[in-house]
Amino acid sequence: MMDVDNLEFGYKSGNVLKDIGFELKHGEFLAILGPNRVGKTTLLRCINNILSPKKGTIEVEGEEILSMKNEEIARRLGYVPQRSKVGRLTAFDAILLGRKPHMGFNIKKQDFRIVNYVIKKLELKELSLRHIDELSGGELQKVMFARALVQEPKVLLLMSLQVALILKISWRY
């Protein structure tokens, strides 16, 4: 389902990731624990191709992620960062942006149906018309989680204070 092999990445200050590898099968998840500055966020950013690894391979369901365009990656991987840059969008609009890899320039009824379904399931209805720059940190994280879910990814990459999670998810709308 997901295979990371021989992943390596470094900044100017030196290597952060070296010879990282793991395999996740359907139904499994991986938690990466550690103190600040050990590379948890860097690993998730490399898996999502936000950062380009020096070497290694990353496959999801047998498809190489690093050779894909960003839109293709977003259909397979949902990413919820520890911090999100916010603008003057409503929570509903921010969540709807998660559908971008599927909708192109035209929003379809299916996109609204999926967004409303996730908003209902995560109990975000009361937040949906509030601007995200007015939300608490926890409320914003829930909105960003919802945005990742509406992408309908095969894998979710979640970052919190000192834990990185990689989850395989299944969709039933």
Split at pLDDT 50, 70, 90, the class of 170 is: low
Whether the CB-CB separation of 90 and 129 falls below 8 Å is answered with yes
Q: How many domains does the chain have?
A: 1
Amino acid identity of 150? V
Domain span at residue 127 reads 2-168
Residue 25 lies in a domain: yes
Instruction: Look at residue 79 and tell me if it is in a domain.
Output: yes
The stretch 94-119 carries a mean pLDDT of 92
Contact assessment for residue 79 and residue 48, using Cβ atoms and an 8 Å cutoff: yes
pLDDT in tens, 57-83: 999 989 999 999 999 999 999 998 877
Contacts of 121 (CB under 8 A, 6+ apart): none
Q: What percent of the chain clears pLDDT 90, i.e. is strictly above it?
A: 62
Domain assignment present for 173: no
35 band by pLDDT with thresholds 50, 70 and 90: confident
pTM: 0.83
- 121: in domain: yes
CA 27 vs. chain centroid, Å, equals 17
Residue 89 is assigned to a structural domain of this protein = yes
